[in-house]
Structure 1
């Protein structure tokens, strides 16, 4: 197993009658939690199983009371504490009293990392905490111990969330290999890691490598659990999304067309599983030029995500971006541009200007602006995207090549 937790150095208006180069895919890359957006790159359902899904950690409070002999206890004050505050105090206390490498301290640090990774802008801190825990467990427990593998999976997920895709790929590969060798390929943790590895490969623009992994997970889960198990339904959606990204649109549409009604019947229209599959179905319908059907599906997703998750949830941003994509496909630019501007603004505020998913949203906005005739602004956005893609992904990234081609077209005399 590679010591992938150690930080590595970072890499890293046209003439009349002409048409700009077409983007290979109007997709979004980056983070998880498993977000895919725009025409052809919808969200795949997060897998509900495996060691990479830590339990949800919540806040609490400290109560100050007055105790007088002969009288009932009287509450004087109550101080509410966030999950971050509580777990920061626990981790610091454990380090001070037990030392930084005690098993209880490692548990406290790992739980703090679980909290921080879900807070916008705190992902890098979470990665560093996970690195300390993983390094210590490697040295004290060994690289194949269940606790080491559990931390390895959570660290891989944090690397993905923070947009460190090359490191995330290596981390998930090492974790998946170790789990497959120690637990077996059919173990839920190994299947979870295979699913997450496929997600990173998709974000790296290597969907043809991801699809066989997603198909293998689906087939193994069907054999183990039957076709109606929740994990099988999630894997069906994830595999259909991989088919979509590989350009196998008819296969994806058949799978999703059968899956969405089953999810609506089982969970209702606003459940996260239904939303994810419906998003994918809307995206594939865009690719098949069935725009009216696609818009109907995606508008339903927007309503569901706004109601269930709120306006600033990543899945809501995904839905709005997908709606902008279908409006773009119908040449309704004046509706698509404001939607994408709003998504870009909020993602930049929450994730940062340089996060991969923000960069991809900026690229999507530039594509619509080109078709809307706003070439100067589109060129400015694409110039920044080119620099960011080079820094984040290196010279071979597919979206980098597409952005360079469109930028050259915009700047040509």
Structure 2
């Protein structure tokens, strides 16, 4: 699925993408990139560049390139795939929307946050219409949009979107699912940005407790959650110190 997590979520298209992902994460001996490049080249030769399965293979290769840190190359390939899918399948086809969401992740990774925000906003509107509010792809793009909005200095709108994502993911996936906790972490960060530090602290503790139980204390997501909790506590401490200094100043002025 396409999502940032506090990094973006990735979607699966309708043409066998899940099989490719199994190959990627199992680290098969041929190597995921070389395999994806070979599959794409063969499908282009046999089926043609515009065949849905060829475009599915291009989408897979683009995602592998992004995971490997070759974001510029991934962006180019995603742009080409999106253009082809829009022309062949239409703007609202589920696979077209997958390509749009994946391109938005690349744009965000390259620092083009406004472009990512605008593309995610358009994709989200289409996903509401095609899949409905509770579909995992809809929720993934909404989550990614919230992340971009927060980074662009719009924490209130990001909070509004992420609260809805958290509520829906709790309902659809359950409170302990990794995607639910990812969205909760982004919501926590938004609350901290908005100065609601007690609510942010409570959420951060909630995430740490669940991830320690599910993933263990040494997992990278658990460590990230602990860091988030420490950041919130540092802001609370700073606020307390600022309040004391302010109180002290007022008392000095009254003397």
TM-score scaled by length of structure 2: 0.79
Separation of aligned partners in 2, 1:228 and 1:299: 26
Partner residue of 2:7 out of 43, 59, 71 = 43
SS state of the match for residue 208, structure 1? helix
Question: Where do residues 8-407 of structure 1 align in structure 2 (5 Å cutoff)?
Answer: 34-36=3-5, 42-51=6-15, 53-55=17-19, 114-119=21-26, 125-309=31-215, 316-328=219-231, 330-331=233-234
Post-superposition offset of 1:194: 0.8
Count of residue correspondences: 235
Separation of aligned partners in 2, 1:192 and 1:186: 10
* Residue of structure 2 in register with 1:65 after alignment: none
Separation of aligned partners in 1, 2:23 and 2:47: 25
User: Unpaired segments of 5 or more residues in structure 2?
Assistant: 236-255
1:258 to 1:33, Cα distance in 2 relative to 1, 3 A? closer
Worse-matched range after superposition: 217-226 or 263-272: 263-272
CA contact (8 A) 1:54 1:154 kept: no
1:319 to 1:200, Cα distance in 2 relative to 1, 3 A? farther
Separation of aligned partners in 1, 2:205 and 2:17: 29
Post-superposition offset of 1:322: 4.3
Post-superposition offset of 1:35: 4.3
User: Unpaired segments of 5 or more residues in structure 1?
Assistant: 1-31, 37-41, 56-110, 333-413
SS state of the match for residue 118, structure 1? helix
Root-mean-square deviation over aligned CA pairs: 2.8
Post-superposition offset of 1:140: 2.6
1:237 to 1:287, Cα distance in 2 relative to 1, 3 A? same
* Residue of structure 1 in register with 2:246 after alignment: none
SS state of the match for residue 331, structure 1? helix
SS state of the match for residue 117, structure 1? helix
Post-superposition offset of 1:51: 4.4
Which structure: greater helix fraction?
A: 2
Post-superposition offset of 1:320: 2.5
1:269 to 1:130, Cα distance in 2 relative to 1, 3 A? same
Post-superposition offset of 1:303: 3.3
Separation of aligned partners in 2, 1:246 and 1:265: 29
Higher relative contact order (CA 8 A, sep 6+): 1
* Residue of structure 2 in register with 1:59 after alignment: none
Post-superposition offset of 1:185: 1.0
